[in-house]
Structures are given as structure tokens and as C-alpha cells.
Amino acid sequence: MTAPEHLIRIAGGDVCFPCAPEDTVLRAAQRAGLGFPYECNVGSCGNCKFELAEGEVQMQWAQAPGWTEKDQQRKRFLGCQSRPLGDCTVKLRLDDRYAARHRPQRVAAVLESRRPITHDISEFRFVLDRPQVFEPGQYALAYLPGVEGARAYSMSNTAGGGRLWEFHVRQVPGGRGSQALFDRVHPGDRVGIDGPYGMAWLRRDAPRDILCLAGGSGLAPMISIARGAMAEPRLAQRHLHFLYGGRTAADICGEDMLRELPGWGERLSYHAAISLVSDGCAPAWSGSVGYLHEIARQRFGEQLTQMEIYFAGPPVMATAVQRMLIEAKVPIEQVHFDQFY
């Protein structure tokens, strides 16, 4: 027998939604089509906080960096980490911008194949038990064997028929999730996949040229955006500039995937830069050297304000890009990213 669902009510109105005991308040709200604010889904950004007015919840990950001592004193919880222990009433402001474009569902998925992309990034292709559509640029949560909590990974393909979801994952030294995926998940094995999530999806109606900035493991969502944009009739007159940044020449990748797309060399271009001059171990490099935000500013200058800009990568890169775009006075509505943690 499955445990009964709990009812979560939003204080001050008639809105309520069911939440399975093993689900989290945020994800259940997203499955119900409600605009429950969030970003990372993994306990770090703090954007999914709510105040508990009635009932009881349990934090799945009590050490989540986004949950402070002050929050605990004020009965504030992270929506992405809290499970209801019964019916609850929560206080927060819903915002339609966060309502799911495709309601997420958790399904089983089989690893079909994997292949290396660089020395530390590999592509993992999963086939879902049930079709599920997503927008280019979105991410999923992966439940991996022996790993507590979910890990967020962005899809690198476009949804197509909806059963094949492709990811580019960087093997993080000492990282429990990425290590489990590289060492313990083999073709034919099943994992849990929950999605899609994320706000940095391709704006198909935006009448502007596109700039994609990808650093390291930020490759996947930017490749997905490029694949989606090049196939989108409404963007057929638009140019897409793809900038990729790595530490050394050994990290540089992605160009081969873009070369396969229609528009390559005409309205789709790729430029890579490294941030460290070779230490002697990495292959020689004769291309650009510098940080991605500097390269973008140098190459595009005032044009940035006319572009639709997507970016993904490690937190230091994302912060530097954000700062540069603010200084360049790019309207915030034209900038799209989901912070990696």
C-alpha cells in the first residue's frame, strides 16, 4: 500500500496541492503547475524558502548551505529539501514566472551509452521509461546509487520524442554524485530522473541574436540551447555566437557538436578561450587566453545590449559574467542562467 498524500495549503488563499510523503514541497508544487520560486533544487541558493504556518516538515538535508540558523529560528524551510509529515500550511508568494513549462515527473531511466568528451567530462545518454518533454537549457535531478540527495544535471540534447535525455557530466574529484555516475552506473543500469526544471530555457520568441557562454561543465545546457535555436524556424534569421572557456587546452570541447548543426559557419560560430597558459602537461594552445566574461566584453562590446544571453558554468565564472553584463547595461530580461552549485 502506498502512503497517502499530504495536502499543502498556501496561506491566505484557496490554493492547495498534494504532496507525496517522499516528495519535496517545491517539487510537488511544480508538478501541480504552481509558480513556487526556486533555482538550484539542491539546497544551495535559498530561493525556495517558505515559512511554515501549520503542520510539520522534515528537512532531507539538514546541512543544506541555503538553510541558515536564522531560518530555523523563524520556522523557514527550503522547499526543495523539505518533506511534509502531514497536512501543512505554508507562507510564500507564488510567482507565475516559475510555473513549469512542462510539469516535471520522476521516472526510471536506463543508461544507454556513455562516451568521453574531454579528460574529465563524459556524455551520458539515458532512455526514460516514459516520454517527457523539456525545453532546451533545462535540467533534471538524478538519483544515483548510494548517493544521498539528488544531483542536478542539464540536458545537452533537445527533447525530440521525449525519451532520450543526454547529459554532459564533469567528474569532480571527491564528488559523491559525479563519482557514482562515472564508477557505478554502467550501460543497462537504471537510475531515477526527475525533471525538467530550470528557468534558463531557450526564448524562441526573442527577436535578437544569441550569445551562449559556457565554462567547463556548463557545456550541456548551452549545446542544448544551440541545438534548439538552430532548429527553430522563428530564430532562422538570428546568429548564435558560442563562447567556450576552459582552464587549459585539454578542457576545450563542444565545437564538433556545433559543426553538425545547420547554420554552422553562416549564422553559428564557436570561439574557445583558456584561462591558464599551459603548464607543460596540457596540449599547446595558440587561441585566445583570458576569462570568458572578458572575452565576451572584448568581442561584443555595446552589441551585448542587443543580444539574448545564456550562460552556464562554475559559480566564479557565472558571478563574473553576471557582473560584466550589469556593467554593460544588458537588460535583465535578456539574460538567462541557472546557477550551478
Which residues bind to ligand FAD, rule: CB under 6 A? 40, 42-44, 61, 139, 148-149, 151-154, 167-170, 172, 175-179, 198, 217, 220, 338, 340-341
Q: DSSP class of residue 163?
A: S
d(CA 328, CA 326): 5
Question: Which cell numbers hold the place of 248?
Answer: 587549459
269 binds, among ligand FAD, ligand FES, none (CB under 5 to 8 A by kind): none
In the complex with ligand FES, which residue's Cβ is closer, 76 or 267? 76
138 binds ligand FES (CB under 6 A): no
In Å, the largest CA–CA distance within the chain is 64
- Does the footprint of ligand FES cover residue 157 (CB under 6 A)? no
Residue 28 binds to ligand FES (criterion: CB under 6 A) = no
In angstroms, give the least distance from the CB of 22 to ligand FES.
17
- Residue (55 or 149) nearer to ligand FAD, CB: 149
- Residue partners of 85: CB distance under 8 A and separation at least 6: 6, 21, 55, 56, 57, 58
CB 74 within 8 A of CB 50: no
- In the block, cell 554552422 appears at 264
In the complex, minimum distance from the CB of residue 126 to ligand FES, in angstroms, rounded to a whole number: 23
Q: Which residues contact 29 (CB under 8 A, 6 or more apart)?
A: 8, 17, 19, 36, 79
Shortest separation between residue 247's beta carbon and ligand FAD, angstroms: 15
Which partner in ligand FAD, ligand FES, none is near 148 (CB below 5 to 8 A by kind)?
Answer: ligand FAD
Pick out residues in 47-106 that bind ligand FES (CB under 6 A): 47-48, 66, 78-80
Q: Which residue has the cell 524558502?
A: 49
Q: Shortest approach of ligand FAD to residue 81 CB, angstroms?
A: 7
**CA nearest 200: which of 6, 38, 29, 10?**
38
Tell me the helix, strand and coil percentages in the chain, rounded to 5.
25, 30, 45
Q: Which of 44, 334 has the CB closer to ligand FES?
A: 44
**At closest approach, how far in Å is the CB of 41 from ligand FES?**
5
66 binds, among ligand FES, ligand FAD, none (CB under 5 to 8 A by kind): ligand FES
Closest listed residue to residue 244, CA positions, set 209, 296, 200:
296
| Shortest Å distance, C-beta 1 to ligand FAD | 28
Instruction: Please choose, from the candidates 317, 152, 164, the residue with its C-alpha nearest in 3D space to the C-alpha of residue 227.
Output: 164
Q: Taking the complex as a whole, how short is the minimal distance between the CB of residue 67 and ligand FES, in angstroms?
A: 8
Contacts to ligand FES by CB under 6 A: 38-41, 43-48, 66, 78-80
